[in-house]
Amino acid sequence: MDKPTGLRKGLTSYGDQGFSLFLRKAFIKGAGYTDSALDRPVVGIANTGSAYNPCHGNAPQLIEAVKRGVMLAGGLPMEFPTISIHESFAAPTSMYLRNLMSMDTEEMLRAQPMDAVVLIGGCDKTVPAQLMGAASAGMPAVQLITGSMLTGSHRSERVGACTDCRRYWGKFRASEIDEDEVADVNNQLVASVGTCSVMGTASTMACIAEALGMTMPGGASPPAVTADRIRIAEQTGTQAVQMARDGLTIDKVLTPAAFENAMRVLLAIGGSTNGIVHLTAIAGRMGLEIDLAALDRMGRETPVLLDLKPSGQHYMEDFHHAGGMATLLRELKPLLRLDAMTVTGRTLGEEIEGHGAGFNQDVVRPITAPIYPQGGIAVLRGNLAPGGAIIKQSAADPRLMEHEGRAVVFENTEDLLTRIDSDDLDVTAQDVLVLKNIGPKGAPGMPEAGYIPIPRKLARAGVKDIVRISDGRMSGTAFGTIVLHVTPESAIGGPLAHVRNGDRIRLSVRDREIALLVSDAELARRAQESPVTVPSAARGYRKLFLETVTQADQGVDFDFLRAETMVGKVPEQP
């Protein structure tokens, strides 16, 4: 028997399916729908618009365009809300709520009748949350990115969030600019609604979504307030209807080949370190494990080609004018799995060919003349991070990539806030700043506090970078010689928990090493002397989070949301 479609899918249980459909139609007809409309393929549209989320400020226009595309293709669009998360408005951190948004998305896809879904997301954690939820729900799904903001101008200098936010705040902390100027630039950094205009996490996930084959071709780069973005939205709605008719479910797109392509793109764009965590979580929903050692090997042969801040100089709208992902993928073509399926029903190779030969531009470099010879991200290991750690080498100071220094330790963010600006802080530019207890359980939610500020007295002395280490994350818009995602985290007793002031730490990006120069015996003695109490909570979402969240190497997802069986690794083993 054929599977039910449209309004007949997932009927509410009243013990009489005929009555369930009768009742459903009666209520929806109260909104003015005719039988003719209700007999069409149903395309759900996940609306993540919120007054708290300016990155999604164009959601109303996108929804209208998607609806137009759906109806032009003979489908019935049905908009519905899910929670919305904005990076700057979610406490304690947006990452704490990513898994909740993924659950909301998954359960609404399961609970409501739809033959396909358009997922509208943009701000950092919303796209991964939607892809995680859709991967688990298993239906035809297509991602629609909200798009990047426009750049602004401050005293004739082009600026954009949020690499320039950090740069100007650093100038203010160093007393290089005054309160009047920092207030002035605050008005110019975000020139429109939309996501950050640099290669932060939002832009990274937009590019990754297209590399995965989950967006319409060209869907990653159009700025939020452009006609190009609206046209992509209309095309997305039209394609969603076709996917419903063809039965092109998400498992046919999110294959090992797709994830391998996404890993290549992450490395080539100098993408956010958060991209690894999110890719790992999405892959985990499909029963796939991201092989970090293989990612590092890929990084040695995949140069950074995209000249965007913070690894380069340009902004997302420049990338769009340079041809967007089509230009990048064309250069990466020899390294890609061209057989990977996309939401269009065509392979990635076919889509690249369909975009033609390209044109002259200076934002995407030729693979023979990259802006950085290796991938943007390197994977580190050592006795300080037995489960791995990462560094965004393309945004680090080359002079600090091989470094040994004295540990200056902060036990948690409160300790950091109390002491980092003190003139009495015992710190030099040769030291290594260590911040504990900002991992998945420690914070909780693994906040972007890994971008530890330069101590004020060093900033005023002109110091622009210093080696920093934590079990947390940093914004994709950030820059510096910063070791992140130290696994296992300090809050569950990882070696980071037992680092003390004055210990020597060695960083060698060349050797992919992060080492605490303390003996195993001494570490064991410290662990016995100062045992760690794993964080817990008495009730609510916090209790669920702390009891089930995984470490960074498993995507900081909830253990019960990952696929029941792991079926392989990415890249696929030969």
- Per residue, the 3-state secondary structure of 13-63, as one string, reads CCCCHHHHHHHHHHHHHCCCCCHHHHCCCEEEEEECCCCCCHHHCCHHHHH
| AA letter at 224 | A
Count CA atoms within 13 Å of residue 470 on its CB side.
Answer: 28
Distance of CA 339 to the CA centre of its chain: 25
- The tokens of 246 are what? 């063809």
**Quick one: 159 and 256 in the same domain?**
no
**Quick one: 166 and 123 in the same domain?**
no
| Regions of the chain with pLDDT less than 70 | 1, 574
**Quick one: 199 and 181 in the same domain?**
no
Whether 213 is covered by a domain: the verdict is yes
CB 131 within 8 A of CB 561: no
**Quick one: 138 and 251 in the same domain?**
yes
Nearest 5°: the CA angle 59, 251, 326 is: 60
Integer Cα distance of 136 and 283 in angstroms: 10
Whether 200 is covered by a domain: the verdict is yes
Whether 574 is covered by a domain: the verdict is no
**Quick one: 232 and 99 in the same domain?**
yes
Integer Cα distance of 428 and 132 in angstroms: 43
**Quick one: 268 and 141 in the same domain?**
yes
Whether 286 is covered by a domain: the verdict is yes
Integer Cα distance of 561 and 548 in angstroms: 9
Integer Cα distance of 256 and 267 in angstroms: 17
Whether 469 is covered by a domain: the verdict is yes
- Which string of b and e fits 512-547 if b means at least 16 CB within 10 Å? bbbbbebeeeebeebeeeeebeebeeeeeebebbbe
Sign of CA pseudo-dihedral 255, 101, 548, 491? positive
**Quick one: 23 and 61 in the same domain?**
yes
Closest CA to 471 of 326, 299, 323, 273: 273
Quote the pLDDT of residue 119.
Answer: 99
Rg of the chain over Cα atoms, rounded to whole angstroms, equals 24
CB 132 within 8 A of CB 282: yes
Q: What is the dihedral of CA 323, 329, 330, 335, to 10 degrees?
A: 160
- Which string of b and e fits 34-71 if b means at least 16 CB within 10 Å? eeeebebbbbbbbbbbbeebbbbbbbebbbbbbbbbbb
CB 354 within 8 A of CB 217: yes
CB 224 within 8 A of CB 194: yes
- The tokens of 508 are what? 């060698």
Burial class of residue 506 in the structure, from the number of CB atoms within 10 Å of its CB (0-12 exposed, 13-18 middle, 19+ buried): middle
The terminus-to-terminus CA distance of the chain in angstroms comes to 40
Closest CA to 523 of 505, 504, 496: 496
CB 84 within 8 A of CB 252: no
Is the bond preceding 444 in cis, omega lying within 30 degrees of 0? yes
**Quick one: 64 and 209 in the same domain?**
yes
**Quick one: 57 and 180 in the same domain?**
no
CB 341 within 8 A of CB 213: yes
| DSSP H helical ranges for 157-273 | 163-173, 179-186, 201-211, 227-246, 256-268
Quote the pLDDT of residue 2.
Answer: 78
Whether 251 is covered by a domain: the verdict is yes
Whether 544 is covered by a domain: the verdict is no
Quote the pLDDT of residue 44.
Answer: 98
**Quick one: 117 and 266 in the same domain?**
yes
Integer Cα distance of 211 and 220 in angstroms: 9
**Domain CATH for 432:** 3.50.30.80
Indicate the length of the chain as a whole number.
Answer: 574
- The tokens of 327 are what? 């230009």
Quote the pLDDT of residue 572.
Answer: 86
| AA letter at 101 | M
**Quick one: 203 and 167 in the same domain?**
no
- The tokens of 311 are what? 């690894």
| 155: number of Cβ within 10 Å | 9
Alpha-carbon distances of 239 from 39, 164, 236, 415, rounded to whole Å: 19, 37, 5, 51
CB 222 within 8 A of CB 228: yes
Which of 164, 186, 208 is at the close of a domain?
Answer: 186
Integer Cα distance of 225 and 191 in angstroms: 11
Whether 547 is covered by a domain: the verdict is no
**Quick one: 78 and 209 in the same domain?**
yes
Q: φ, ψ for residue 355 (rounded to 5)? A: -85, 0
Q: Which domain holds residue 163?
A: 152-186
Beta bridge partners of 369: none
Integer Cα distance of 328 and 361 in angstroms: 11
- The tokens of 411 are what? 């036990």
Sign of CA pseudo-dihedral 17, 18, 19, 24? positive
Give the count of domains, the chain.
Answer: 3
Nearest 5°: the CA angle 184, 461, 188 is: 15
